[in-house]
């Protein structure tokens, strides 16, 4: 942790006093710590405490040093943000994107990993609103350090105590290590569906949303990689800090991919590319005339196979969306397309599509496999990159 720049956000719960000990430990381990506080936090602990511990100014208002625009500067200078304690009120604001003070404004502007350690009464922690907000933040990539069970301020016992300092520090160290694990690597990721039109308003496509590819691009960029994201049609916003190139058809992706993929250290192909396209495209909308419509289909370029044939030293990871005999079909694809590894998931009944949970198994070599489990796509993206990093290092 030596030399790491950490932004610590403190909100107004009784556990705020524990943030002082956390700050002291971070400083002793060599971190440079900046502290921001909510107005409610000041009711529990004075800013002077944190200023003395960090030997740096503490920011409690947007009007502290306004000429330096501190809420933007601080998150741009930091390697990681830590929110401890995080109250139910602050969690709700972050989930909803509200920004009405120093802490919420800074965190809304953050493009760095955020570790969030909630602390509140058990009834508040278990309330459906809090659970939904936590799920929202986890899906956005927040690292959540779940609260401990024990004696609470209300002289009750239950789940809601701020996680132990050791658990928070372990999460911070793990997140920092992950953030730096891909420094200098060039990564290309394909994501989203292709669309193959047979008239100006109709096309052949699938239910892919690009959520997995976008999560991988965000995670790779957070780890220090230079990321190019080749993105098909989607309503989802691509992450900040990556180069985005758009495609619509399989042919467009084929032509785009061979450039960035050729110079990449790692290519992860999550795009759900149509295997067939209409052999002819009408320039005008086809009208209903009471008869059935027959469209002759032809094969599209095999983008992943083309990358595999030219990959050289590039580590190439494919995706296999299967409805049956999942690993058998995926291993055949692994060999046939010259992949180094392949992630397979079950998409029967459209499972795996969208922004919800997914389940992945990573396969490589003749018999090797790792079950990455079921989780939200940001979590799976981190697990997948952890596994791929190990394979790349071993090679």
- Write out the DSSP string of 236-259: SPPPTTSEEEE--SHHHHHHHHHH
- Taking the C-alpha atoms of residue 377 and residue 362, their distance in angstroms, rounded to an integer, is 15
Integer-rounded Cα Rg, in Å, for the chain is: 24
Task: Burial-class residue 258 by CB neighbours within 10 Å (0-12, 13-18, 19+).
Answer: middle
Phi and psi torsions of 274, nearest 5° = -65, 135
- For residues 166 and 190, membership in a common domain is answered with no
- For residues 175 and 246, membership in a common domain is answered with no
Q: Which is nearest to 176 in space by CA: 394, 6, 54, 374?
A: 6
DSSP-assigned states of every residue in 342-371: EEEEE-GGGTT-SSSEEEEEEEETTTEEEE
Pairing of strands 114-118, 266-269: unpaired
Length of the chain: 395
Choose one of 135, 160, 180: the last residue of a domain.
Answer: 180
pLDDT tens readout for residues 315-331: 999 998 777 777 888 99
- Taking the C-alpha atoms of residue 69 and residue 106, their distance in angstroms, rounded to an integer, is 10
Active-site annotation holds for 2 = no
What's the number of domains the chain is made of?
2
- For residues 198 and 273, membership in a common domain is answered with yes
pLDDT value of residue 353: 60
- For residues 135 and 248, membership in a common domain is answered with no
The SS3 of residue 103 is helix
- For residues 191 and 176, membership in a common domain is answered with no
Choose one of 180, 208, 238: the last residue of a domain.
Answer: 180
Which helix (H) or strand (E) is 266 found in, with range? strand 266-269
Low-confidence ranges of the chain (pLDDT < 70): 348-356
- For residues 44 and 118, membership in a common domain is answered with yes
pLDDT value of residue 265: 95
Which residues does 282 contact at the CB level (< 8 Å), separation at least 6? 198, 199, 200
3-state helix, strand, coil in the chain (%, to 5): 40, 25, 35
Per-residue burial over 141-173, b if 16 or more Cβ lie within 10 Å, else e, is bbbbbebeeeebeeeeebbbbbbebeebbebbe
- For residues 197 and 172, membership in a common domain is answered with no
Per the residue annotation, which of 2, 206, 289, 345 is the catalytic one?
206
* CB contact at 8 A, 273 and 195: no
- For residues 168 and 191, membership in a common domain is answered with no
- Taking the C-alpha atoms of residue 303 and residue 315, their distance in angstroms, rounded to an integer, is 16
- For residues 302 and 252, membership in a common domain is answered with yes
Task: Give the C-alpha distances (Å, rounded to integers) separating 74 from 8, 69, 80, 100, 255.
Answer: 10, 9, 10, 17, 41
pLDDT tens readout for residues 221-266: 888 899 999 999 999 989 878 999 999 999 999 998 888 777 899 9
- Taking the C-alpha atoms of residue 16 and residue 251, their distance in angstroms, rounded to an integer, is 56
pLDDT value of residue 351: 54
* CB contact at 8 A, 152 and 203: no
- C-alpha angle 43-35-164 in degrees, rounded to nearest 5: 80
- For residues 367 and 317, membership in a common domain is answered with yes
Domain that holds residue 320: 186-394
- For residues 235 and 160, membership in a common domain is answered with no
DSSP H stretches of helix in the chain: 18-28, 47-54, 70-77, 88-96, 102-108, 122-126, 128-139, 165-180, 211-222, 250-262, 303-310, 326-336, 377-394
Q: What is the pTM of this model?
A: 0.69
Q: CATH number for the domain including 122?
A: 3.40.50.1950
pLDDT value of residue 286: 84
Phi and psi torsions of 71, nearest 5° = -65, -25
Choose one of 180, 200, 220: the last residue of a domain.
Answer: 180
- Taking the C-alpha atoms of residue 243 and residue 230, their distance in angstroms, rounded to an integer, is 8
- For residues 155 and 241, membership in a common domain is answered with no
Q: CATH number for the domain including 338?
A: 3.40.50.10300
Residue 140 backbone zone (phi > 0: left; psi -120 to 50: alpha; other: beta):
alpha
């Amino acid at each position: 942790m030596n030399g790491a720049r950490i932004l610590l956000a403190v909100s107004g719960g009784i556990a705020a006093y524990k943030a002082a000990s956390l700050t002291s430990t971070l400083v002793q381990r060599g971190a440079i710590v900046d502290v921001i506080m909510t107005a409610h936090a000041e009711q529990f602990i004075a800013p002077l405490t944190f200023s003395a511990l960090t030997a740096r100014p503490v920011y409690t208002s947007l009007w502290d040093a306004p000429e330096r625009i501190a809420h933007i500067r601080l998150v741009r200078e930091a390697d990681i943000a830590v929110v401890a304690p995080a109250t139910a009120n602050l969690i709700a604001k972050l989930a909803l994107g509200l920004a009405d003070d120093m802490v919420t404004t800074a965190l809304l502007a953050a493009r760095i990993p955020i570790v969030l350690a909630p602390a509140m009464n058990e009834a508040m922690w278990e309330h459906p609103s809090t659970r939904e907000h936590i799920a929202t933040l986890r899906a956005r990539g927040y690292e959540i350090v779940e609260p401990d069970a024990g004696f609470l301020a209300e002289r009750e016992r239950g789940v809601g105590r701020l996680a132990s300092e050791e658990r928070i520090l372990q999460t911070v160290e793990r997140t920092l290590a992950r953030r730096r694990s891909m420094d200098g690597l060039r990564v290309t990721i394909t994501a989203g569906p292709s669309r193959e039109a047979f008239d100006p308003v109709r096309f052949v496509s699938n239910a892919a949303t690009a959520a997995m590819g976008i999560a991988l691009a965000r995670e790779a960029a957070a780890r220090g990689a230079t990321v190019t994201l080749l993105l098909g049609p989607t309503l989802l916003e691509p992450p900040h800090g990556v180069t985005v190139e758009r495609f619509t058809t399989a042919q467009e992706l084929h032509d785009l991919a061979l450039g960035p993929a050729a110079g990449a250290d790692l290519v992860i192909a999550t795009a759900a590319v149509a295997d067939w396209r209409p052999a002819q495209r009408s320039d005008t909308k086809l009208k209903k005339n009471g008869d059935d419509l027959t469209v002759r289909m032809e094969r599209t370029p095999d983008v992943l196979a083309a990358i595999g044939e030219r990959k050289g030293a590039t580590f190439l990871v494919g995706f296999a969306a299967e409805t049956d005999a999942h690993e058998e079909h995926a291993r055949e694809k692994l060999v046939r397309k010259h992949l180094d590894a392949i992630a397979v998931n079950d998409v029967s009944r459209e499972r795996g599509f969208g922004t919800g949970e997914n389940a992945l198994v990573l396969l490589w070599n003749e018999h090797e496999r790792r079950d990455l489990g079921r989780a939200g796509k940001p979590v799976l993206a981190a697990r997948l990159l952890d596994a791929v990093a190990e394979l790349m290092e071993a090679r």
